[in-house]
Amino acid sequence: MRILICDGLHPQGLDILRADPDVEVLAPDQPSAELIREILPECDAMVVRSRTKVTADLLENAPRLKVIGRAGTGVDNIQVQAASARGILVMNTPGANAMAAAEHTMALMLALARHVPQATQSMREGRWDKKRFMGTELYQQTLGIVGLGKIGTIVADRALGFKMNVLAHDPHITPETAAILGTEWVELDKLWSRADFITLHTPLTAETRNLINRDTLSKMKKGVRIINCARGGLIDEEALYEAIVSGHVAGAALDVFAKEPPEGSPLLRLPNVIFTPHLGASSTQAQENVSRAIAMQILDYLKRGIIRNAVNFPSMSAREYDRLRPYMRLAEQLGHLHGQLSTPIERVDIEYSGPELQELPLDPLTQSIAKGLLDPILAEKVNLVNAPLLLQERKIQLTATRTTATQGYTGLIRVTVESKGQKKSATGAVFPGNEIRLIRFNTYRLEAELEGINLIVQNKDTPGVIGFIGTTLGTFHINIANMHLSRTPEKDKAVAIIRLDTEAPEEALNALRANPMILSVEQVRL
Ligand SMILES: NC(=O)C1=CN([C@@H]2O[C@H](COP(=O)(O)OP(=O)(O)OC[C@H]3O[C@@H](n4cnc5c(N)ncnc54)[C@H](O)[C@@H]3O)[C@@H](O)[C@H]2O)C=CC1
Ligand SMILES: O=C(O)C(=O)COP(=O)(O)O
């Protein structure tokens, strides 16, 4: 496995990757976009920070790429949807650099309040300018935090330590939770109008882009100070420039910029704006944390299939993964069975039941079913990441529900597929020893293994049919490995699921179909 390290990764993470005998690490120093484009087609994984832009165009020529690891938090430099469409997992390391970013925010807030960088510069120039650098205290000032996630929460705690009044706005956090953290949850307009300092801690999304703009700036208090340690795109930089020049905003501290580096930005000329070059995560501890975390996550995924901190797939712990694994195999095989029995698929209804499936996350199972369904149909690479998108593209409706019914099993998955107005259903269970079995096919009860080459033969329940099947297959030199029989409660129809040692040719299937007692013959490869 070849892993390309695009942006600087701390040696601790590199050592973890290099210690693995199955891994070759390519770590060119600050590789250009051209070099990345050249090497990527041969790589199974890539690791980035904020410098490298992972575009749809770049991913087009990355046939081996399975995972993009972001050694950090923000994934706005990665076109996640394009990665998902190609079945590439995108993972980050949430929280691993939150302390660094929060402390940097506090450093910038204090430096901004007391003009530390400007005073340093003036002393370097030989001056002793006490009057010019009169500052403001944080004590009893009001701080408005936009985004009360991992970083926002630490900033709130530190600001409370400075005895600031802390307002917070985060649509995904309740006022009660905000209050537990010692903050007052307010609507954005209130935050703009009441805060003396404003700090941003949201991801950059379509919703948060240009959160601070001419309109919102006009709602802020005169003399407000703004800190941005999240993403440059959260602020309309031109509007901020104007608001600072007009004196409405007293100052700003910026770690991040719409374009990095912000060459030619007029903000760089303003004396009351202070800067750092995207240093929020640049502490030794944070870089150790993110590099170790991403190295281990990538190895876990490439070597063991364990998915953690993926932004385009539900995450699961190693323990959950162990428990889910047989159900994921069962789910995929049920999908695989249906994918070969019904075409075109219009609708898929999934029912999860049994005590074990009450506790485990179900999305990985639903995604496994989707993968199983599409694998036999599509030429392109289908995996757990892109299967749901491919289902959507093909306009296949899917529902998944959880019920408490058990029918004596610890976990059951029932998949019903509708095609051309006809419904087929298959129910599977995990048996002790993690054996997976098909226990119900339409109305037939059975206990068939879900693997290998199988014939599914439906017939009228009359004597001699099974003998005929055996003899016919014998004439084609096809050996039967095992057979599961069942019939309807009315005893008029029966099904045989016959595991074969070798695939039956079309002539053999037609020879079986020629018998009027045989209603249908289908061959599936599981
Ligand atoms: N300057 C730097 O070096 C660093 C910058 N960052 C940036 O900081 C951001 C936040 O990081 P974390 O706190 O670790 O992430 P997080 O995911 O824990 O927190 C983000 C919070 O923003 C909230 N949010 C989302 N949309 C919102 C909206 N429209 N209005 C208000 N709140 C909204 C979410 O509910 C969540 O609570 C990252 O997305 C990244 O862009 C992160 C680390 C270092
Ligand atoms: O983790 C994040 O979101 C960051 O912005 C850190 O960026 P960096 O890895 O230092 O380029």
Task: Report pLDDT digits (tens) over 413-443.
Answer: 999 999 999 999 999 999 988 999 999 999 9
Asked whether 226 and 267 are in contact (CB, 8 A), the reply is no
Give the residue, out of 48, 200, 201, with the most ligand 1 atoms within 8 A of its beta carbon, to mutate for a pocket test.
201
Q: Which ligand is nearest to the CA of 171?
A: 1
> Largest alpha-carbon pair distance within the chain?
108
- Please tell me whether residues 197 and 145 are part of one structural domain: yes
- Nearest atom in ligand 2 to 72's CA: 1
- Please tell me whether residues 385 and 343 are part of one structural domain: yes
Q: What is the dihedral of CA 223, 224, 229, 231, to 10 degrees?
A: -100
pLDDT level of residue 197 (50, 70, 90 thresholds):
very high
The closest residue, in CA terms, to atom 8 on ligand 1 is: 230
278 among known catalytic residues: yes
Determine how many CB atoms are found less than 10 A away from the CB of residue 69: 28
Distance CA(237)–CA(252), nearest Å, equals: 11
- Please tell me whether residues 60 and 44 are part of one structural domain: yes
> Where in the sequence is the domain holding 524, given as residue range(s)?
452-526
Q: How far is CA 108 from CA 39, 104, 154, 263, in A?
A: 38, 6, 15, 21
Q: What is the mean pLDDT of residues 289-294?
A: 98
Q: 231 in ligand 1 pocket by Cβ < 6 Å? A: yes
Per the structure, the count of domains in the chain is 4
**pLDDT for 403-416, tens place per residue?**
988 778 989 999 99
Residue 139 lies in a domain: yes
- ipTM surpassing 0.85, yes or no? yes
Residue 312 lies in a domain: no
Q: 50 in ligand 1 pocket by Cβ < 6 Å? A: no
Q: What is the mean pLDDT of residues 71-78?
A: 97
Q: 146 in ligand 1 pocket by Cβ < 6 Å? A: yes
pLDDT score, position 371: 94
**Which of 450, 475, 504 corresponds to the end of one domain?**
450
- Please tell me whether residues 438 and 488 are part of one structural domain: no
Asked whether 193 and 169 are in contact (CB, 8 A), the reply is no
- Please tell me whether residues 386 and 488 are part of one structural domain: no
- Nearest atom in ligand 1 to 202's CA: 22
Which of 104, 225, 231, 414 is catalytic? The answer is 231
- Please tell me whether residues 125 and 271 are part of one structural domain: yes
Q: What percent of the chain lies above the pLDDT cut of 70?
A: 100
Looking up residue 92, the CATH number of its domain turns out to be 3.40.50.720
Residue 210 lies in a domain: yes
Residue 280 lies in a domain: no
Give the residue, out of 7, 47, 48, 50, with the most ligand 2 atoms within 8 A of its beta carbon, to mutate for a pocket test.
50
Residue 195 lies in a domain: yes
- Please tell me whether residues 174 and 30 are part of one structural domain: no
Strand partners, 422: 419
Answering whether pTM is above 0.95, one says no
pLDDT score, position 315: 80
**Which of 427, 450, 473 corresponds to the end of one domain?**
450
Nearest to 229 by CA among 209, 252, 213, 207: 252
The closest residue, in CA terms, to atom 11 on ligand 2 is: 50
**Which of 225, 256, 275 corresponds to the end of one domain?**
275
Mean pLDDT of the chain: 95
Residue 337 lies in a domain: yes
Distance CA(156)–CA(144), nearest Å, equals: 9
Q: Which ligand is nearest to the CA of 178?
A: 1
Which of 169, 225, 278, 440 is catalytic? The answer is 278
Q: What are φ and ψ of residue 180, in 5° steps?
A: -60, -35
- Please tell me whether residues 430 and 457 are part of one structural domain: no
Q: Which residues line ligand 2 (CB under 6 A)?
A: 49-50, 72-74, 97, 278, 280-282
Distance 281 CA to ligand 2 centre (A): 6
Q: 144 in ligand 1 pocket by Cβ < 6 Å? A: no
231 among known catalytic residues: yes
- Quick one: how many helices (H) and strands (E) in the chain? 18, 22
- Please tell me whether residues 207 and 65 are part of one structural domain: no
- Please tell me whether residues 383 and 495 are part of one structural domain: no
pLDDT score, position 381: 81
> What 8-state DSSP symbol labels residue 78?
B
The closest residue, in CA terms, to atom 42 on ligand 1 is: 73
Residue 311 lies in a domain: no
Looking up residue 324, the CATH number of its domain turns out to be 3.30.1330.90
**pLDDT for 319-347, tens place per residue?**
888 899 999 999 999 999 999 999 899 99
477 among known catalytic residues: no
The closest residue, in CA terms, to atom 9 on ligand 2 is: 49
- Listing DSSP states for 387-422 in one string gives HHHHHHHTT-EEEEEE----TT-S-EEEEEEEETTE
Residue 509 lies in a domain: yes
- Please tell me whether residues 470 and 341 are part of one structural domain: no
**Does the pLDDT at position 498 exceed 90?**
yes
- Please tell me whether residues 445 and 519 are part of one structural domain: no
CB neighbour burial string for 263-283, b if at least 16 within 10 angstroms, e if fewer: eebebeebebbbbbebbbbbb
Looking up residue 485, the CATH number of its domain turns out to be 3.30.70.260
